[in-house]
Amino acid sequence: MDGPILEVRGVTVSYKLGGLFSRRILTVLNGITLGIRENEVLGLIGESGCGKTTLGKVIAGLIKPAAGRVEYRGKDVWSMGKEEFSEFRRSVQYLHQDPYSSLNPVQTVYTILSRPLLKFKLADRSNVGEAVMKLLEAVGLTPPQDFIRRYPHQLSGGQRQRVALARIMSVKPKVLVADEPVSMVDASQKIEILNLLLKLREETRTAVVYITHDLATLRYVSREGRVAVMYLGKIVELANVDRVVEKALHPYTQTLLNALLEPDPKLTRTKQVKLRSLDVQSLLNPPPGCRFNPRCPLSVSGLCDVVEPNLIEVYPDHRVACHLVKG
Amino acid sequence: MSEEVLRIRNLRVVYSSRRGYVNALRKVDLEVKGNEVLGIVGESGSGKTTLALTIIRQLPSNSKILSGSILFNEGGELVDLLRVDYQEFRRFLWSRISYVPQGAMNSFNPVSKIKEHFIETAKAHYPNMGKQEILSRAEELLKVMLLDPKRVLESYPHQLSGGMRQRTLISLALLLNPKVVIMDEPTSSLDVVSQKVILQDLRRVLREFDVAVAVITHDMGVVAEVADRVAVMYAGNVVEVGHVEDVFYNPLHPYTQGLMAAVPKLRDREGKLISIPGSPPDLVNPPRGCSFHPRCPIAAEICRTTEPQPTELSRGRSVSCFKWNRGGT
């Protein structure tokens, strides 16, 4: 496999809380290192507050990390010149969770789709109309004439997400960060949007970073891709999606798998979640040692609550951060 | 789990809108049996929340109940909830039927401690009930929901996590020993782990208290996890009812089959998911005949002209479809 097209190295993101003289620091990402390979699907999975969205935004260059580097094709993104940075911005796109607030409400679909084409000189005044029509057709908004004059409020959630997707794919990105793209779309539209994403990905060979808390959907989108399981600002397990589903090693990943509700009454009721504590620890005051230890059913006192485990490769292409896992 | 506590018959509800009447419920027949979990599943706009609001008589003012009855089994005597005096009905709420709306864990009064919510609720129905009596009952319920009762009762809502508030709310709904609890999307705003744990507990709690629960959701996973029976709603109708395993392993209505085919499964590596073509009908002008026929892969002539009625196939298993026995794969 080729080297990564985009890489984050030792990235830390933290926010200062409270007033001017406050010293409370909230560290939402803590020393994350992760590479995105060309044309792969990489899932970021975890509960809310684990930092998956923040990591997605760091990857897309929307948040500047407090420490660490983000490299696109080997170049540090945050020391790029203006033109280079603009090219990076085009190449790495972000699909928002909420299509109700990601489209400008006072612009028509035509304006929304034609602007990026003109900005990046992918079309000129003479053929931009035709290009917009083609885009709408590609995302299944047909006939396109019916849609170009509409405003976002005249579209359903699913249709808006299609417009957002069309806008992103129009600039031919190399990496697409998709943050729970179907969580706000009606049930009947979800699968169509996912299938559309898969189809566009296949055609354009774009790498996708798929952020979700739903492993079943991720497996559907990801197929042979990798998954990074996140907990309280750290990656705790990183492996191929099949390995994560069939042979998860980290107790937290196993918890997530057991917690997933499956549309199969007999199967889902045999799966039990057993945790020492139901509450997620606060990022403001992360527990010493392994961050999962206060909830972990296997936690060993004197080890897990003292020493922080590193993410180590226990099998080829399977990394785990847990003291109890040996290769 | 045999006797019915709630029997809904021939229920029709419309909303008036600028475009005309929206037929939100179109002849709904449904039972809730004692001590069971009934999963009511459907897409948005299928009428599931309207059904809940009709039962607790909280429909908005632009709505009208055209026909129907909701019979509540009050110790062998059937009381029509739609016809009792509203003042009397208010006594029914919480003590016989309680309702947990969607996202209600965010509707605790932020300036009252949790214990005040319990006391206020109980006092509204039983003014003579002592504080200690209320609080000891509350503690018992919170303990069953795996919370630390002392800490929770003395907390303000913002001091509890979402999952804890949801558990507190379920305890509050059970405070006055209702026979039926209706929960609208009880776990939709929770994280995956809390969701699973709460649903696991819900089933356990029901065995301890003699209470029936109707869970309204769009999530097939939630239904598979908690329900004993399932009612599938589409465009204001109940189109299929059955035991959870029958409905999941042998769905008969083409709509139910479509729903099942569109859910991603963790263990399924190769399968391609297929969504149901088209979108739900406009309920101002519902299609003639079966409301699902424009999207149905097996629709025949009769489906376009005649509305199918629920056909009881075996005890507790019914489907509203002319073609159900040819609809199998």
Query: Per-residue pLDDT tens for B241-289?
Result: 999 999 999 999 999 999 998 888 888 777 788 888 888 888 999 999 9
How far, in Å, CA of A196 to CA of B192, rounded?
26
Model ipTM value: 0.87
CB A160 within 8 A of CB A152: yes
- Asked, as a colleague might, if the bond just before A263 is cis with ω within 30 of 0, I would say no
Q: What is the pLDDT of residue B327?
A: 44
Within 8 A by CB and 6+ apart from A316, the residues are none
How far, in Å, CA of B254 to CA of B262, rounded?
12
CB B20 within 8 A of CB B31: no
Nearest C-alpha in B relative to A273: B197
Mean per-residue pLDDT, A73-87: 94
Look over chain A and give the mean of its residue pLDDT values, rounded to a whole number. Answer: 92
Within 8 A by CB and 6+ apart from A144, the residues are A132, A133, A136, A137
Q: Which of A191, A192, A264 sits opposite B224 (nearest CB)?
A: A264
What is the tens place of the pLDDT at every residue in B279-301? 888 899 999 999 999 999 999 99
Is the minimum CB–CB distance between A224 and chain B shorter than 8 Å?
Answer: no
How far, in Å, CA of A29 to CA of A66, rounded?
10
Q: Which domains does chain B have, with CATH numbers?
A: 4-96+179-326 (3.40.50.300), 108-177 (no CATH)
Q: What is the pLDDT of residue B329?
A: 41
CB A67 within 8 A of CB A11: yes
Q: pLDDT band for position B12 (50/70/90)?
A: very high
**Contact assignment for A259 to B245 by CB distance below 8 Å:** no
Could you tell me the strand order of the sheet in which A175-179 lies?
A92-95, A175-179, A207-212, A41-45, A226-231, A234-240, A318-320, A312-315
By CB atoms closer than 10 A (0-12, 13-18, 19+), residue A265 is buried
B26 pLDDT above the threshold of 50: yes
**Contact assignment for A278 to B279 by CB distance below 8 Å:** no
**Contact assignment for A260 to B191 by CB distance below 8 Å:** no
B80 pLDDT above the threshold of 90: yes
B248 neighbourhood in chain A, CB within 8 Å? 263-265
How far, in Å, CA of B17 to CA of A75, rounded?
58
A261 neighbourhood in chain B, CB within 8 Å? 192, 195-196, 199, 219, 221-222, 224-225
User: DSSP character for B293?
Assistant: G
A215 neighbourhood in chain B, CB within 8 Å? 266
Domain boundaries along the sequence of chain A: 4-106+151-213+224-239
Within 8 A by CB and 6+ apart from B254, the residues are B292, B296, B297, B298, B321, B323, B327
Mean per-residue pLDDT, A182-210: 88
For residue B171, what are its two tokens? 């305890």
What is the tens place of the pLDDT at every residue in B134-178? 999 999 999 888 888 999 999 999 998 888 898 899 999 999 999
Within 8 A by CB and 6+ apart from A199, the residues are none
Q: pLDDT band for position A184 (50/70/90)?
A: confident
How far, in Å, CA of A234 to CA of B235, rounded?
45
Which CATH number does the domain A4-106+151-213+224-239 belong to among 3.40.50.300, 3.30.465.10, 1.10.3210.10, 3.30.70.270?
3.40.50.300
Within 8 A by CB and 6+ apart from B255, the residues are B232, B234, B239, B240, B276, B292, B295, B296
Q: What is the pLDDT of residue A218?
A: 92
The per-residue DSSP string of A230-286 comes to: EETTEEEEEEEHHHHHHH--SHHHHHHHHHS--S-HHHHHH-----S-SSPPPTTSP
Mean per-residue pLDDT, B82-109: 89
Look over chain B and give the mean of its residue pLDDT values, rounded to a whole number. Answer: 91
Is the minimum CB–CB distance between A259 and chain B shorter than 8 Å?
Answer: yes
Q: Which of A192, A263, A278 sits opposite B221 (nearest CB)?
A: A263
CB B259 within 8 A of CB B232: yes
**Contact assignment for A47 to B244 by CB distance below 8 Å:** no
**Contact assignment for B221 to A257 by CB distance below 8 Å:** no
Q: Reduce the secondary structure of B69-91 to three states and give it as a string.
A: EEEEEECCEEEECCCCCHHHHHH
Nearest C-alpha in B relative to A278: B194
Within 8 A by CB and 6+ apart from B208, the residues are B144
Is the minimum CB–CB distance between A194 and chain B shorter than 8 Å?
Answer: yes
Which is nearest to B320 in space by CA: B234, B218, B227? B234
A159 pLDDT above the threshold of 80: yes
Q: pLDDT band for position A142 (50/70/90)?
A: confident
Neighbours of A218 (CB within 10 A): 23
Helical ranges in chain A per DSSP H:
52-59, 82-91, 109-119, 128-138, 145-148, 157-170, 187-204, 215-222, 241-247, 251-259, 265-270
Q: What are phi and psi of A307, to 5 degrees?
A: -100, 130
Q: Which of B197, B221, B273 sits opposite A273 (nearest CB)?
A: B197
Mutate which: B244, B266, B269, B274, vs A, most A CBs within 10 A: B266
What is the tens place of the pLDDT at every residue in B197-211? 989 888 888 878 889
Q: Which of A242, A256, A279 sits opposite B161 (nearest CB)?
A: A279
Nearest C-alpha in A relative to B193: A259
Beta strands in B75-207 (DSSP E): 77-80, 97-100, 180-184
**What is this structure's pTM?**
0.90
How far, in Å, CA of A46 to CA of A256, rounded?
8
How far, in Å, CA of A36 to CA of A226, rounded?
10
Q: What is the pLDDT of residue B1?
A: 44
Q: Which range has the worst mean pLDDT, A25-34, A93-102, A245-254, B319-328?
A: B319-328
End-to-end CA distance of chain B: 32
Q: What are phi and psi of B146, to 5 degrees?
A: 60, 35
Amino acid at A110: Y
User: DSSP character for B158?
Assistant: G
Across the strands, what pairs with A103? none
